[in-house]
Amino acid sequence: MTEATLEKLKILAAAAKYDVSCSSSGTVRRNDGKGVGNTVGGVGICHSFAADGRCIALLKVMLTNYCMYDCAYCINRRSNDIPRATLSVSEVVDITMEFYRRNYIEGLFLSSGVVRNPDYTMERIARIAKDLRLIHRFNGYIHLKSIPGASRELVNEAGRYADRMSVNIEIPREQSLKYLAPEKDHKSV
């Protein structure tokens, strides 16, 4: 992995910690000899639970933290002055496979800010899952976040290759959503 890719991974793993995934984030707490156990984190590695109850390590990362929306509640909102990065489809696939081969992870949790438009972003997410499954024969766990406003066809395409998909329901009332995220509406979410 190049230094540039590692730097992007650090930014996008940090950005992903705010995305709900039923997992712990990459906390590192070494045993000082007075306690029991360690938490061993790594860049973007978090833990979740499989259907059979096993705890599994996941690469939890965003495809990009650039976003066309300016939602007041989101750390990745357009107007927030934070470091930004974008991984290519092949970079996410390569990182996932490299981490899997090194036994760092058993799966991928992938979310993203929305760039260009929801369909463009959702197509890239779907392509990552499809490439992992069909080209690399990846049988690990894949959890994808659906992009609000993306076409049903692209969401369905992504779902063919994911073990789990979820969507953030930002705010339950349309009036509140308009106040905090004026560019979104309940229908798109």
Sorted by where each begins, the domain ranges of the chain are 3-13+43-180
The reported pLDDT for the residue numbered 52 is 79
- Which pLDDT score is estimated for 72? 81
Amino acid 85: pLDDT: 97
pLDDT for 173 equals: 74
The stretches in the chain having pLDDT less than 70 are 19-43, 170, 177, 179, 186-189
CATH architecture of 3-13+43-180: Alpha-Beta Barrel (3.20)
pLDDT at 43: 64
The C-alpha angle 183, 129, 62, rounded to 5 degrees, equals: 45
List all residues 6 or more positions away from 66 whose beta carbon is below 8 Å from its beta carbon: 76, 84, 86, 113, 115
> Quick one: pLDDT at residue 175?
74
- The per-residue pLDDT for 145 is 94
> Which of 189, 184, 186, 187 shows the shortest CA–CA distance to 166?
189
